[in-house]
Amino acid sequence: MSTAEIQDYLKTAIEVAKEAGEVVREAFYKEKSLQTKSNYADLVTETDQAVEKQIINSFKEKYPTHKFIGEETVAGGHKTEWTDDPTWIIDPIDGTTNFVHQIPHTCVCIGLSIKKQMVVGVVYAPILNEMYTGAKGQGAFCNGERISTSQQNDLKQAIIYLEGGSSREPDVLRRKCNIYQKVLQTTRGTRTLGSAAMNMVNVAKGSGDAYVEYGLHIWDFAASGVILIEAGGSMIDPSGGPVDFLSRRVLCASSQPLADQLSTTIPEHIEMERD
């Protein structure tokens, strides 16, 4: 694939993300119509559904043969089918709970995979007015300015992003607490933004050094993964192997040495039901 083709895809994704972000911004301070998915902590709003529909329709107009994986489409009963075909992977509002509670760390995520390789990623946080972009081999940017990771190599000096997730299963919570206690004991500190993508782009721009989560989905980290890698970061499975976008777990770090240190520090690895 040529650089020009990738640039065209990226330009389109940025335009679509901006349009979607306007819908999110307009609804942010208004009363929300809520539904739950897997449990009372797993929320969806009418805005999530409307934004995803708008995004898919925009891409279909320009790329009618492309495929789609969208959070709300899957929640509606469609299976996650990831093929070699050009596929747009969409999270209309990452950080829906933040969106509901008027916490600004919420974003539109759009990623493009070709032959199951991520080539374009756009994460747009409309309330913060931050547009993060990345394209394979072309670097990572925030609002047009190049970004890079901290390249931190010492776990004891690192800030790690962690998330509780939406699962309320007692065994999952117990095991996460065991993991997170160990992480807190061996690092400078932990932070939680309530959005996988926002955690990852903050690592990408050097505002924090690593992120690990169990229980997320491909649409939560496909787009931001491109940005992180292009910013000089590393993304692996928490066990230390290659990242698997359908495994519902990920470890990101500012550098490969830090990723390796964090992986070996984690006392156990939770097997999640695959997407």
| Residue 119 three-state SS | strand
Q: 3-146 with 155-265: one CATH topology?
A: no
Q: Is 244 annotated as a binding residue?
A: no
How far apart, in whole angstroms, are the C-alpha atoms of residue 21 and residue 106?
10
What is the reported pTM? Answer: 0.95
CATH topology of domain 155-265: D-Maltodextrin-Binding Protein; domain 2 (3.40.190)
Contact partners, residue 178, CB within 8 Å, separation at least 6: 267, 268
What fold, for 3-146?
Fructose-1,6-Bisphosphatase; Chain A, domain 1 (3.30.540)
pLDDT given at position 167 = 85
Residue 94, marked binder: yes
Domain residue ranges of the chain, discontinuous segments joined by +: 3-146, 155-265
Q: Is 237 annotated as a binding residue?
A: no
* pLDDT tens by residue, the chain, 275 residues: 788 999 999 999 999 999 999 999 999 999 888 888 788 777 889 999 999 999 999 999 999 999 999 988 876 667 788 999 999 999 999 999 999 999 999 999 999 999 999 999 999 999 999 999 999 999 999 999 999 999 999 999 999 999 988 889 899 999 999 999 999 999 999 999 999 999 999 999 999 999 999 999 999 999 999 999 999 999 999 999 999 999 999 999 999 999 999 999 999 988 988 98
CA dihedral of residues 130, 228, 8, 90 (deg, nearest 10): -70
Q: List, by residue number, the catalytic residues.
A: 71, 91, 93-94, 96, 220
For 196, residues 6+ apart whose C-beta sits below 8 A from its C-beta are 94, 163, 211, 213, 216, 220, 221, 224, 250
Check residue 243 and give its pLDDT: 97
Query: Has 71 been labeled as part of a binding site?
Result: yes
- Residue 266 annotated as binding? no
Position 22 scores a pLDDT of 98
Q: What is the pLDDT of residue 180?
A: 93
